[in-house]
């Protein structure tokens, strides 16, 4: 029996309503969880090593200060989403700022940032599996296993569904870090002189150069990079204006947790602290800590894959019901995009097999703009009402000017420092070879 035009229209409308219900279930509490999972993961594991480079005083100042800057910048990113509800992702902001070429510029930066982030998760998964198993299996194989796990966890297309895994992620990272705290504290207490014998320093070591210090700052910048995903997450909120609660809650918790992680582990281990920090817990305990941390390694990485894939999928099918991933065509294209993003990230992890270097590259080149100087520009160009020097705007204008200068400073100085350190590591054989079996 032929289908009437009305039944076809009704079916399309029903699919659209089902899709909207599926992708508009995110409240501010779940948003906080998703942001936590996206933000508080591998970045936190690089902080003790950053403290060892900067010294305790500068490490704490940088961690708290950059946390405040990142939280404020994220607030501005959310503000433009509220003013322009049609924005679905960060690329749409680029289009508003600079037209079509701005969209593609931001899209390229956004996708590179996501892929580098997932690459760092894949590399950490490789290190974790090798450390846990203590086997002679080639690291490339462990990298492939990590990539497959990341792919499978990234298949659910709705962020509200991934938020459920976020609770496991939160417990995982907190327990793993807690074990590292206890293990490093016990190890140091058994040394001659006890805890007081640790060689941590309040100030940077005399032989620390500008490039090494800047790479440490880049790693802190990376640890706070959650503004990138905020527009994508807000597109699935049923009450987008509540994002402020999530951003402030996450920012305050991040600053506290990062300061404690960096300061305590550095105080216990001293200059010998490693990155990821879980390696500093000793050969046996680090295996336990890595085992507990596997959920955060893979769940956080999978959310970043999902962000990147949703970005592409949403733009390809912007005006089609396929964007809701509730049809055969939608599922096929979605799974293919997740697979491609995962494969590229695995290649990145094998090509740059040093944990802190991947984070530094992403922090300096990409996150400096997406999380700092572009949010400042967003306020001046898109959000500001009236002149910037008016009484109601001058304080916000000054804050955004400082955020802009900070982001530009990280871009210039951070990129230079990363190049210098990467050349030095290559010359000294620290980086190893791409696609080599050993990732140590």
Pick the more confident residue, 139 or 355.
Answer: 139
CA-CA-CA-CA dihedral for 383, 384, 386, 389, to nearest 10? 180
SS3 track for 364-377: HHHHHHHHHHHHHH
pLDDT above 90 as % of the chain = 33
pLDDT above 60 (res 389)? yes
Give yes or no for residue 35 having a pLDDT over 50.
Answer: yes
What are the structure tokens assigned to 29, written together? Answer: 């509490």
Q: What is the pLDDT confidence band of residue 438, given thresholds at 50, 70 and 90? A: low
Quick check: 222 pLDDT over 60?
Answer: yes
pLDDT value at residue 266: 93
CATH of domain 32-428: 1.20.1740.10
Q: How many CA atoms lie within 13 A of 265 on its CB side?
A: 34
Mind listing the pLDDT tens digit for each residue in 38-48?
776 656 777 89
CA 162 vs CA 30, 50, 116, 332: distances in Å: 10, 30, 20, 19
**Gyration radius of the chain's alpha carbons:** 22
The pLDDT score that the predictor gives to residue 267 is 93
Q: What is the tens place of the pLDDT at every residue in 302-316?
A: 888 988 888 888 888
Task: Specify the pLDDT at position 64.
Answer: 96
Q: How far apart are CA 265 and CA 185, in angstroms?
A: 8
More confident residue, 157 or 112: 112
Domain extent listing, the chain: 32-428
Distance CA 255, CA 39 (A): 12
The long-range contacts involving 164-168, CB below 8 angstroms and separated by at least 24 positions, are: 165/37, 165/295, 165/299, 165/302, 166/30, 166/33, 166/34, 166/36, 166/37, 166/299, 166/303, 167/33, 168/295, 168/299
Q: For 200-209, how does the pLDDT look when each residue is reduced to its tens digit (9 = 90+)?
A: 999 997 888 9
Q: What pLDDT sits at residue 133? A: 87
Confidence of residue 5 (pLDDT cuts 50, 70, 90): very low
């Amino acid at each position: 029996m032929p289908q009437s035009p009305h039944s076809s229209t009704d079916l399309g409308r029903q699919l659209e309503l089902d899709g909207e219900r599926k992708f508009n279930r995110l409240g501010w509490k779940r948003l906080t969880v998703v942001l936590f999972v996206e933000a508080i993961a591998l970045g936190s594991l690089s902080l003790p090593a950053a403290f060892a480079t900067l010294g305790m005083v500068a490490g704490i100042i940088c961690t708290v200060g950059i946390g405040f800057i990142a939280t404020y910048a994220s607030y501005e990113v959310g503000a433009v989403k509220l003013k322009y509800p049609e924005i679905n992702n960060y690329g749409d902001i680029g289009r508003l700022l600079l037209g079509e070429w701005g969209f593609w510029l931001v899209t390229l930066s956004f996708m590179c940032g996501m892929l580098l982030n997932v690459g760092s998760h894949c590399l950490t998964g490789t290190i974790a599996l090798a450390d846990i198993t203590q086997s002679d299996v080639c690291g490339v194989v462990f990298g492939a296993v990590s990539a497959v796990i990341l792919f499978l966890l990234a298949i659910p297309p709705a962020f509200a569904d991934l938020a459920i895994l976020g609770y496991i992620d939160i417990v995982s990272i907190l327990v793993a870090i807690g074990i590292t705290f206890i293990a490093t504290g016990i190890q140091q207490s058994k040394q001659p002189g006890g805890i007081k014998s640790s060689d941590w320093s309040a100030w940077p070591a005399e032989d620390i150069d500008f490039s090494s210090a800047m790479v440490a700052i880049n790693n802190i910048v990376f640890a706070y990079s959650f503004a990138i995903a905020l527009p994508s997450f807000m597109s699935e909120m049923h009450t987008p204006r509540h994002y402020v609660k999530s951003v402030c809650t996450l920012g305050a918790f991040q600053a506290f947790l990062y300061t404690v992680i960096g300061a305590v582990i550095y105080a216990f281990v001293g200059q010998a602290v490693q990155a990821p920090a879980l390696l500093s817990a000793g050969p046996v305990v680090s295996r336990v800590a890595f085992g507990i941390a596997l959920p955060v390694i893979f769940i956080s990485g999978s959310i970043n894959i999902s962000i990147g894939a949703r970005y592409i999928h949403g733009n390809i099918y912007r005006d089609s019901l396929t964007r809701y991933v509730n049809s055969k065509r939608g599922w096929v294209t979605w799974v293919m995009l997740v697979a491609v993003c995962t494969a590229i990230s695995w290649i990145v992890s094998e090509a740059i097999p040093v944990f802190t270097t991947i984070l530094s590259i992403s922090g300096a080149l990409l996150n400096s703009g997406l999380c700092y100087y572009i949010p400042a520009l967003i306020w001046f160009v898109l959000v500001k009402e009236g002149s910037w020097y008016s009484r109601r705007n001058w304080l916000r204008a000054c804050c955004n000017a400082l955020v802009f200068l900070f982001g530009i400073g990280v871009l210039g100085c951070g990129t230079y420092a990363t190049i210098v350190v990467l050349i030095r590591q290559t010359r000294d054989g620290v980086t190893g070879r791409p696609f080599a079996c050993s990732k140590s």
